[in-house]
Chain A
Amino acid sequence: MNVVGTSAKRIDGIEKVTGSAEFTTDIVLPRMIHAKLKRSPYAHAKILNIDTTKAEQMPGVRAVITAADLPDIRLGILTLDEHLLAHDKTRLVGEPVAAVAADTPEIARAACEQIEVEYEELPPLFDPEEAIRLDPPVVLHEEYEEYEKLLELAEMDERPPNLWQAYRIRHGDIDAAFKKAEDEGGHIIENRYATGYVHTACMEPHGAVAQWSSDGTLTLWAGGQSPYIARDGLAKALDLSPSKVRVIVPFVGGAFGGKLTVKEGAIAAALARKARRPVKIILTRAEDLSATAARTPFIFDIKDAVTKDGILIGRKVTSILWGGGYSGEGILKPIFSTHLYPGSYRLAALWVDSYGVYTNRVSGGALRGYGCAESAWAVETQMDIIARKCDIDAVELRINNLLNEGERTAITMPAHAFSAHECLTKCADAIEWETPSESLEHPWYRGKGIALGNKYSFAPTASSTELKVHEDASCELRTSAVDLGQGAYTILTQIVADEFGIEIDKVKLVTPDTAITPFDHVAGSSRQTFHTGNATRMACDDAKRQIRELAAPKLEAHPDDLEVSGGRISVKGSSKSIEVEDLFVVEMLAGKRPADVEVIGKATWEVSASPHDPNTGQGEEPMAYMGHGAQAAEVEVNVETGQVRIRKFVSAIDVGKAMNPQGVEMQNYGGGCMGIGIALHEDMCFDASGEMTNASLMDYKIPSIIEMPLKEYMESIIVEVPHQHGPYGAKGAGEIVVVPTSPAIGNAIYDAIGVRIWDQPLTPEKVVKAWKEKTASGNGSES
């Protein structure tokens, strides 16, 4: 039975298409009430007093809470800097300061309006370059030094008071590299790039349902990415033992990195405890867009030393991640984004200073590509500029700089299953790279661009699974892996079916519930196929071992001589066999149980890694694996309106082994669409007070299907270079598909009209402005 590697149907497809799939918002419990949050209208203010009297007296209001009702505990991923409800200060517009639970959402909202909060406005700080100064105009966290931190920053003489992350890479002799480029007729190429404010904007907004049982156990239903991160976060926030928290993950309507923690779930839980009733909270679209973590901007200053033959010999980068009021889930981005500075390229010298700073804007979070999609924008645009400067074809230049299998990058990541070359050339072939774009009639211009990308999958990490075998030979996989839409449940089902040689419909999944399913780190960092896939295979092996041991006496054979497939246990090389069912015995009240013990296979797959030295960026193997991919775009640009149409788009990614080729194809298309949105359209806008001004799906421009190339002009290429540790050789596909998109499009725009736009998104207005500047100056040359 070869189920792995086939485009098996999505096992959640029918439920989702018919509307029977249960999401958090569908959950209704007896006596359940509804929560709303009172949010700060100020980006930066002291909270002098909160008066909840009027709200509490409203009919239908069951509980009102403020920070005073919660344990005085700061939360966070690695720097614990954030209270569940603003404590004495608010550091961004929309920060929750109080919460109400009432019989209806409308009453709760009306009650929020009756809560009187007395603020003392403080000057807000929005500019990251002001924020990073040693003498900034405003300090957001006066007590930063006292915060609990699980992370070491790079050493510095004096920490700028708004800095929450500092990381350095010191590899090779950087001065010598620049000197060599200068002395030997090479090039020094220096540019500044910026990414924009992007939101995950999932179809399903953030939400949760919380219920307490009489023994003091909290059950929380929340569509998140990790039931265990959620469980531990809830336990910490509410000062509970983790065993007293049960997290159940229903179907999830998209996450993309935005649902790692369950802040609003913890607030709902606190309200439920006070009201002694189950509480549901579902954020509105405006709240979801404006007050949950976003992909906040990076500023990159990159300086490259290149020989006259186009060989990259040195790179110096300073980057600032424009963080928000709290370090949030973006805490590791200044570190992880550095993987793209070498990327797939050999670099003799790399010198990086990467920072993250607080500002009074929305906190930085994760979004598909965690740092890599941002740094790829700078690096892969830079590669295009280098190619043009050296007058070498952009594909050839990249190939000339690629690592070889077995080498290590400048940050010690081994080049294993190194498929950059194959991804790049297949992508170039598909876009007919050698053939220049046709000329169109003014004001339309056509051009092609290409970019390479990488996406690490982080370590250390672990996944555990359990596999129970029933008497009808069906298998039940218990996993805390989450299907966010990426297809994890289908792939895990395929693995079990494959390992047991049974039909897919004989595999049942027990989905994330911390009371039942074992630990799995997170549905993030493109890790479920790789890690949970490995754990699932191992649990299958363990269950099969138990079955062989149970069957051995019956078959009068050694367990090692038995094989389990298709519901039968047979003696290798003989016709002797029994059915799995024969291992079960009938009990007195006509139930069945296995002859010996329950057949439950268990396994934990673990990848260890030691953190790199934050002062040098050097160490042992830092990540679980590295994904490779290339994308190319042909665009049509109208220089009068600035419109950019994607005429053709190609995405070639290496997945090691396509567990479900159609699933990979959908990642290529879906990721491409998201990447196109990030490159050209999406931009969270803020007014001078720090409030988001386009917090609706009408105004926040997620592209529609019309903005996508037609299906026949969108090509998915699957590259399969097996990874030594991947299950069946497989690697993840979920994030690499958005990494090269922006630079591929930006490079195509340059090819079409000869202008660079340095800051994302590449909106029509910026295209027109850049074109006007170019035509005014009479040339389009660049340094």
Chain B
Amino acid sequence: MIDCQYLEPTTVSEACTLLAEHGDDAKVVAGGQSMAILLRNGLIQPSHLISIQHVSGLEDIVASDEGVKIGAKVTLDRLIGIGETHPTLRALDDVINELADQQIRNFATLGGAICEAHPASDITVVLSTLNASVKLASAGGERVVSMCDFVTGAFATAAQSDELLTEVVVPSFDLGSAAAAHRRFVLRAGDYPVVGVGAFVSLDGSGGCQDARIVVGNCSSAPAHAQEAETRLKGHSIVGNNGAIAEAGELAASHVAPSSDPMAPSEYKIDLVNVLTREALAEAVARATG
């Protein structure tokens, strides 16, 4: 039995006031998918649950000059096939289309999935790869934090106890010369992955790599950039250069130190980082050139 008070504000400012009032003792619940597990496992014991179910204005998906803005309450189900309407989000399709199952996608929200900060989350990995940022509202105003800085550890974020995540912004990029992809390996359909890897590349006119982002999931407490691999690629030929991609895979794998768990031993996760980095990169290059 969960013994806590359930509050239902109807606006962002009301929600922020309640958060300011109850501080660390309060938790925000949107779809409830992650919350139910965290509560059941006793990982959190809030005295107040602040439901944002009736808070309006957090459910839009809007394309703007800044990029695509996705409201925190958008369910994962609504993100199925999002890459078709917003092509810069195509890498999100790699994740969402295989994520969990229909029942879970129906009530899980994007904001909830980010704020849970599960170390195996593919969503935080792919959003980091896409250089996304999140908008945090509080009674004192708003601030924007990049995804890479937002997830600070396993089940830990940079959000203050009085802040509410309201929006995710995925910046635009030139679809003619850049693309992202995500690859994951699961032991069973619908599971958290053993390892997930996101890759973003932007190309110059001659098949060289102008910029690269490679983000590895579930090998540390938060999504981690494979900096050595990124450095290896930047400024070098990448299109048609399988050697460079293979090297990037090796570099990414040699710089992770995952812990073993019942799903997989560390050594195997390292093998997967290599394979998935290669596959994600190859796919990103194919998309950027296709």
Chain A interface residues (CB < 8 Å from chain B): 104, 106, 640-643, 681, 683, 685, 693-694, 698-699, 701-707, 763-765, 768-769
- Does B268 make an interface contact (CB < 8 A)? yes
Contacts of B190 in A (CB 8 A): 704, 706
Q: A643-B185, A704-B189, A707-B189 are in contact. Are A768 and B263 (CB under 8 A)?
A: no
Distance in Å: Cβ of B272 to nearest Cβ of chain A: 6
Q: Which of B189, B262, B265, B271 has the most CB of A within 10 A?
A: B262
Name the distance in Å between A554's Cβ and chain B's nearest Cβ: 62
Q: Are A703 and B188 in contact (CB under 8 A)?
A: yes
B43 contacts chain A at the CB level, 8 A cutoff = no
| Residues of B close to A769: CB separation below 8 A | 267-268
Q: State whether B275 touches A640 (Cβ < 8 A).
A: yes
Within 8 A of A (CB), among B115-136: none
User: What residue of chain B has the Cβ atom nearest to residue A683's Cβ?
Assistant: B262
Question: Is B262 touching A685 in the complex (CB atoms < 8 A)?
Answer: yes
Of the candidates B1, B188, B268, the one whose C-beta lies within 8 Å of that of A768 is: B268
User: Using Cβ atoms and an 8 Å threshold, which residues of chain B touch A763?
Assistant: 187
User: Roughly how many angstroms separate A705 CA and B267 CA in the complex, as a whole number?
Assistant: 29
Q: Nearest Cβ distance between residue A74 and chain B, in whole angstroms?
A: 34
Selected A-B contacts with CB under 8 Å, 22 pairs: A104-B1, A641-B271, A641-B275, A681-B187, A681-B188, A693-B262, A694-B262, A698-B191, A699-B263, A701-B191, A702-B188, A703-B188, A704-B188, A705-B189, A706-B189, A706-B190, A707-B188, A763-B187, A764-B187, A765-B265, A765-B268, A768-B268
A681 and B262 CA atoms in complex are apart in Å by: 12
B158 at the interface (CB under 8 A from A): no
Q: Which of B187, B267, B271, B272 has the most CB of A within 10 A?
A: B187
Expressed in whole angstroms, the Cα–Cα distance for A698 and B264 within the complex equals 14
Which of chain A's residues have a CB closer than 8 A to the CB of B267? Answer: 769
Q: Chain B nearest CB: distance from A771 CB in Å? A: 10
Q: What sequence of 0s and 1s flags, for each residue 262-287 of chain B, a beta carbon within 8 Å of any chain A beta carbon?
A: 11110110011001000000000000
B102 to chain A, nearest CB (A): 12
In the complex, what distance in Å separates the CA atom of A701 from the CA atom of B267? 20
CB distance from B165 to the nearest CB of A (A): 25
Indicate whether A764 sits within 8 Å of B262 (C-beta atoms), given known contacts A106-B1, A641-B275, A706-B189: no
Residues of chain B within 8 A (CB-CB) of A768 are 268, 271
For A106, the closest partner residue in chain B by CB is B1
| Complex contacts, A764 vs chain B, CB 8 Å | 185, 187, 268
Q: How far, in whole Å, are A701 and B188 apart by their CA atoms in the complex? A: 7
Nearest Cβ distance between residue B218 and chain A, in whole angstroms? 14
With A106-B1, A699-B262 given, name 15 new contacts (CB 8 A).
Answer: A104-B1, A640-B271, A681-B187, A681-B188, A683-B262, A685-B262, A694-B262, A698-B191, A702-B188, A704-B189, A704-B190, A706-B188, A764-B185, A764-B187, A765-B265
* A residues less than 8 Å from B272 (CB atoms): 641
Question: Contacts of B271 on A, CB cut-off 8 Å?
Answer: 640-641, 768
Q: Are A641 and B263 touching (Cβ within 8 A)?
A: no
Distance to closest chain A CB from B281 (angstroms): 14
Give every chain B residue within 8 A of A699 (Cβ-Cβ). Answer: 262-263
Give min CB distance, A289 to chain B, whole Å.
12
A711 to B190, CA, bound (A): 20
Shortest Cβ distance from B104 into chain A, in angstroms? 11
User: Which of A641, A681, A702, A769 has the most CB atoms of chain B within a 10 A radius of its CB?
Assistant: A641
Q: Which residues of B contact A707 (CB under 8 A)?
A: 188-189
Instruction: Report the nearest B residue to A763, measured CB to CB.
Output: B187
Q: In whole angstroms, how far apart are the Cα atoms of A198 and B272 in the complex?
A: 26
Q: How far is the CB of A472 from chain B (nearest CB, A)?
A: 45
Distance in angstroms from A125 CB to nearest chain B CB is 22
A763 to B1, CA, bound (A): 37
Interface string of B74-115 (1 = CB under 8 A from A): 000000000000000000000000000000000000000000
CA distance A698 to B267 in the complex (A): 22
| Known pairs A106-B1, A640-B275, A693-B262; A701 contacts B268 (CB<8 A) | no
Q: How far is the CA of A348 from the CA of B217 in the complex (A)?
A: 57
Contact of A701 with B1 in the complex, beta carbons under 8 Å: no
For B189, the chain A residues whose CB sits under 8 A away are 704-707
Bound state CA distance, A104 and B189, in angstroms?
Answer: 36
Which residues from chain A contact B268 at a C-beta distance below 8 Å?
642, 764-765, 768-769
Q: How far is the CA of A642 from the CA of B185 in the complex (A)?
A: 10
Q: How far is the CB of B254 from chain A (nearest CB, A)?
A: 16
Bound-state Cα–Cα, A435 to B98, Å: 34
Residue of A nearest to B276 (CB): A641
Most buried by B among A702, A704, A765: A765
Give the docked Cα–Cα distance between A641 and B186 (Å): 10
A-side contacts of B187, CB under 8 Å: 681, 701, 763-764
Query: CA of A698 to CA of B272 in the docked complex: distance in angstroms?
Result: 21
